[in-house]
Amino acid sequence: MIETDRKRELDQERLLPFLSDPASYPHHPDSVRLIQTHASFVFLAPPYVYKIKKAVDFGFLDFSTLERRRYFCEREITLNRRLTQDVYLEVLPISEASGTFHFGENGKTVEFAVKMRLLAKDGFLDRRLERGEVTVRDLDRIVAMLTNFYAQQDPGKEIAERGLPGAVRESTDGNFRQTEEFVGSALSPAAYDAIRYYTERFYERHGALFEERVRQGRILDCHGDLHLEHIHLGPQTLNIYDCIEFNDNFRYVDVANDVAFLAMDLDFRRRPDLSRCLVERIAERLEDARMSHLMDFYKCYRAYVRGKVECLHSVAHAAPKEEKEASAERAQSYFRLALRYATADSDPLVLVVMGRIAVGKSTLAKALADELGWELFSSDRMRKTLAGIPLLGRGTASAREQLYAPEMSERTYEALLKAADEHAREGRSVVLDATFGSRSHRDRLRSMLSECTADHCFLEVQAADSVIRERLALRESQADVVSDARLEDFTALANRCQAPAELPPHRLGVIDANGSLESSVRQSLRFLADRQAAKCQDTAVPGSLSQETK
């Protein structure tokens, strides 16, 4: 099968020199530039674009035969004319005669190309965003076109059934199967596990919500691939192009799913303000108060889709090495964003990793910060920085007594809380690594964050005394330990922590750190994913945010 796939690719690649030559085109452009995706060769030959579908079969996309490629070229023209004006022109055959290729039917037809009008590059929404030129008025134009488009679609029975949990699960399960080979490179096993776990838990908790969406007629024949690069704004025109043509089930989706792609892409480009504005205005125009309840779930799905697509391009045979490397990096970024939606939603979260000395909280906090891409603030580092002493130096007994005096502890926690508050107000999530053994410190943090409405939760890391003693003993031979605590300090420090009994279940995860770091990371991410899956803004779930009393 692999040999057959490779033969198809090689046969098709014979066309690349012909399609890269300006002399091959009837209008003789000055230049031709090739852009590749995981599924297409796109040739920019001003003032036109010629798109060739790659002879690939990814399961969810099958362009393996010439007849299938012709059919999907025609489908691309028909479907994309719904949201474009004078962009999709025609399907052109490419033929071979006497060993040479040409456009037209004279000879043996070997390929088909979609001919499009080339749009001015400055009008694409991703480029406008890079220049800081996207305004709320621009969003209003997009919202108006999309909502009018959705209003014209008929939610027939076949389409509506694609919104049921079982049908949606086909797409998410397919994504997970198709990315298994990239686990360990593009995303870690723990991240893969957490995103899958979140997805399953969401289905379990919110099946009735999916069914309600079907009854309300929210499942439509949508665009299916609605992100920044597929929207072009001109002074008088708006074109939303390149919808999904290769798999109807990817277009037969909840409107919330369709909108989530663009909202996710705005988050990815660090414009959560525009993302929120987009969702709010579309929901308002569609009178869809429940759209926001599904938004993080579908944004997680869409970020994962983009990660998958970038992974596929990163191993595409004909793609240049630089493109493959860039795609591999983008895949990691998209998977990290999917993990964020699965564990902390679209708003900032202050994650506190707490526990007694040497339970492994600092190691776990760093691993979680790395997985999530959040900044880490550690009390050990903060304390020594404030005291002006080397991070890896261990002072005398009297110096340590001064370093860990109540006044210095207060300064340390004050600095930690300030860092958390600043990040939360700026819309950034953060990991705090500290004992947080005093209820007063926990209460101060929670009170402070309530003022800026930032979410927060605690992970209490636990380990057996024997494990703690063993780890403390090992520190004598380790040169990279910031904490000054050693085995002789165990008795004095072991019982200083006040149990966090005041924290409600959804604010406190208990992590068993007696085993491996991988196990602790997996437990932590699953706790966050379970907590995230439980959220539903208008449903009172036991232990949910809506039931918490401050």
- What is the secondary structure of 467-524 as a DSSP string? HHHHHHHHGGG-S-------GGGHHHHHT-PPP-TTS-GGGEEEEE-SS-HHHHHHHH
* Whole-number pLDDT of residue 521: 98
The answer to whether residue 19 scores a pLDDT higher than 70 is: yes
3-state helix, strand, coil in the chain (%, to 5): 55, 15, 30
Q: Peptide bond before 26: cis, by omega within 30 degrees of 0?
A: no
Give residue 283's pLDDT band: very low, low, confident or very high (50, 70, 90).
very high
For the stretch 490-537, pLDDT in tens is: 555 566 678 899 999 999 999 999 999 999 999 999 999 999 999 864
pLDDT category at 391 given cuts 50, 70, 90 is low
pLDDT of residue 163: 95
Question: Residues 546, 496: contact at Cβ < 8 Å?
Answer: no
Are 308 and 339 a contacting pair, CB within 8 Å?
no
Q: Report, as an integer, the average pLDDT of 388-401.
A: 62
The answer to whether residue 369 scores a pLDDT higher than 90 is: yes
* DSSP 8-state code for residue 119: P
| 74: amino acid identity, one letter | E
pLDDT for position 470: 79
88 or 499: which leads in pLDDT = 88
Dist. CA 267–CA 412, nearest whole Å: 33
pLDDT at residue 117 above 50? yes
> Which single residue is written with the structure tokens 């290729």?
101
pLDDT of residue 471 exceeding 80: no
Average pLDDT over all residues of the chain = 89
**What confidence tier does 545 reach under pLDDT thresholds 50, 70, 90?**
very low
| Full 3-state SS string of 129-158 | HHCCCCCHHHHHHHHHHHHHHHHHCCCCHH
- Please give the pLDDT value at position 542: 32
Q: Is the pLDDT of residue 300 over 60?
A: yes
- C-beta of residue 167 within 8 angstroms of C-beta of residue 254: no
Average the pLDDT over 370-384 and give the result.
Answer: 91
What is the bridge-based pairing of β-strands 108-117 and 88-97? antiparallel
Q: Residue 316 — very low, low, confident or very high, per pLDDT cuts 50/70/90?
A: confident
**pTM exceeds 0.85, yes or no:** yes
Query: Which of these ranges, 94-103, 120-129, 181-190, 449-458, has the smallest mean pLDDT?
Result: 449-458
pLDDT at 538: 41
HSE value, Cβ hemisphere, 13 Å, CA-based, for 425: 10
